[in-house]
Amino acid sequence: MNVFLIGANGQVGRHIVQLLSESSEHNVRAMVRNEEQAIHLKQSGVDAVVASLEGSVAELAAAMNGSDAVIFTAGSGGKTGFDKTLLVDLDGAVKSMEAADKVGANRYIMVSALQAQNRESWKNSPIKPYMVAKHYADRMLLASVLNYTIVKPGLLTNDPGNGKVQAGETLSGGAIPREDVAKTVVATLNEENTYRRSFDLLSGDMDVHEALKNL
């Protein structure tokens, strides 16, 4: 597949770029926010494009034209206000879905958050606005015509990944290395058992591919 990666300069995104760049099955076009990031990726041999989730649907569609699949792993980050959470994590995500539909990139993978569908699980969370944004972005994706997969990881760490995870619809508590989230996201591209599915993801004792086949 020709994969359009939104959030390529993020911590999970950088792992995905590496995996897709090494893949014999997929090609990657990395979307970043500024020219400096794009130049750095291009110097590494990665096809990169500058675009903004706060731009128009038409601008996003132009950037992802020719893609078969979209991976959304962007985020406004913890250093911005909740206005950016609304504009990037919610509205930006929805605009990317509309752009994907517009250009025929039917396969769409969303990196969400553990139990984002369950309001009770985050009603007292210090990042509640972020969880609200994820909740409603996911709902928009669920209602779309896109062939979606929603991956909802727990607490993200920078520990080295070992490719061992647990995946399910009602997991709670726990963490997972960003590297293993990236491995799982890339594995979902062709894994039919994840098509039009949503699942939580934590560190575990099952190989990524095995865990996805056993959802």
**What pLDDT is recorded for position 172?**
86
The CA distances from residue 188 to 62, 108, 184, in Å, are 25, 10, 6
Average pLDDT, the chain: 95
What 3-state class would DSSP assign to 36?
Answer: helix
Which tens digits make up the pLDDT trace of 95-122?
A: 999 999 999 999 999 999 999 999 999 9
pLDDT band at 80 (very low <50, low <70, confident <90, very high): confident
What pLDDT score was predicted for residue 139?
98
pLDDT of residue 82: 81
The set of long-range contacts for 157-160, using a CB threshold of 8 Å and a minimum separation of 24, is: 158/11
Tell me the pTM.
0.96
By annotation, the residues acting in catalysis are 130
pLDDT score for 162? 96
Q: Which of 63, 106, 177, 9 is nearest to 18 (CA)?
A: 9
> Can you read off the two tokens belonging to residue 179?
């590297």
